[in-house]
Amino acid sequence: MTVVDSVKNSLLSAFRYLLKPLVRMAVKNGVSFYEFSDALKRAYVDVATSQLTSAGTPVTPEGISVITSIEQTEIEQLSPNDAGLNFNVDSQKQNPLPRVLSAWHSDANFTGPYGVLRDLQLSKTTTDGLPSFSDLAATYCPGFTPRALLDELIRAGRVVDVGSGYYRAVDRSFVYEPLSDDSIRIVAQTVHNICETLENNLRPESRDGHTLLQRVIYTRSGLNAGAMTKFDSHVRSRGQAFAEEIDMWLSDNQEPEGSEGKFKTGIGIYHYVVNDDDEVKFSKTLHKEGEGK
């Protein structure tokens, strides 16, 4: 077995392993193998198209076929499929709720002394003359009705009515409903961005200090149930504090509204629990591949 074949086989074992959570999600929600494989085929075509475009080469079914080994006839039969969700980073702007909630916590115009959050009225009144929620919405979510935004934040439990026409933000983060378009988009972006970081760090040109931050901290011998509960509480608390610190830093250093920053970046935090069944099968597969080297 050549080195190239060994790497390819190891990658195929890794792909099978990392796809299992996605396949479980697909099976639970009625996505068939053929629909999933069609999505995979389209991903191959997308990547090949980007490579050809970057190289200044005409994008043709033949060129895509050479890169992907997909038959030209299959490529030609792929119809544009833009009816689905747009999962690029810019699509985060489509849902205004996380944006307006974050701005409420970070924009000095809507906080009081020492950064303490200010309760806001829906509309500005002559009583105090301070900025209102409508001002916040107009600044960060133009085109959306302030009343509709506020009602949804109240429904989601992120804002409460404290009386006398004032509203208070009680949570900085916004959690999407399970299996909503937005929650699915978050899953896609999270997995995509993690894989992008890992792929970037494996490139030869990323060595010598050009890798992105990648850290995994884990227990070698496991935790008992009590320690697991404590750990979950600990990481939620410390993770939220770190997330808010990073959010404030990005808010203070991002490009002004209306202009586009060159780098769209951020930090992802997640707590994982190993799926023992998947882990054992993956280890056995890699062991077999190692024996063939």
Per residue in 158-167, pLDDT (tens digit) is 999 999 889 9
Q: Give the predicted TM-score (pTM) of the model.
A: 0.59
Check whether 2 has a pLDDT greater than 60. yes
Token look-up 């509480």 returns: 233
Give the pLDDT mean for 25-32.
80
Interval 30-46: pLDDT, tens: 788 888 999 899 999 99
| Per-residue model confidence (pLDDT) at position 93 | 45
CA 31 to chain CA mean position, Å: 21
The residue-averaged pLDDT of 228-233 equals 95
Count the residues in the chain: 293
- Can you spell out the DSSP letters for 13-70? HHHHHHHHHHHHHHHHTT--HHHHHHHHHHHHHHHHHHHHHHTT----HHHHHHHH--
290 confidence band (pLDDT: 50, 70, 90): low
User: Are 207 and 199 contacting, i.e. CB atoms less than 8 angstroms apart?
Assistant: no
Mean of the per-residue pLDDT values for the chain? Answer: 83
Q: What's the sign of the alpha-carbon dihedral 206, 207, 210, 212?
A: positive
Say how far apart CA 164 and CA 140 lie, in whole Å.
25
Compute the 3-state secondary structure of the chain and give helix, strand, coil in percent, each to the nearest 5.
Answer: 60, 5, 35
- Using CA atoms, how far residue 49 sits from 38, 44, 110, 189, in Å, is 16, 8, 45, 21
- Distance CA(105)–CA(169), nearest Å, equals 8
**pLDDT higher than threshold 70 for residue 113:** yes
Q: Which residues contact 21 (CB under 8 A, 6 or more apart)?
A: 275
pLDDT (0 to 100) of residue 285: 72
The structure tokens 């070698």 sit at 220
Taking a C-beta distance cutoff of 8 angstroms, is the pair 211, 61 a contact?
no
d(CA 218, CA 274): 10
Note the pLDDT of residue 274. 86
Q: Helices 33-54 and 61-68, interaxial angle, to 10°?
A: 110
State mean pLDDT over 234-242: 92
120: three-class secondary structure by DSSP: strand
pLDDT tier at 89, thresholds 50, 70, 90: very low
pLDDT computed for residue 154 by the predictor:
92
CATH of 90-169, one of 1.10.357, 1.10.3470, 3.30.70, 1.10.10: 1.10.10
pLDDT tops 70 at residue 82? no
Residue range 188-219, pLDDT digits in tens = 888 888 888 888 888 888 887 889 998 889 88
Q: Report the pLDDT value the prediction gives residue 286, as an integer from 0 to 100.
A: 65
pLDDT at 48: 92
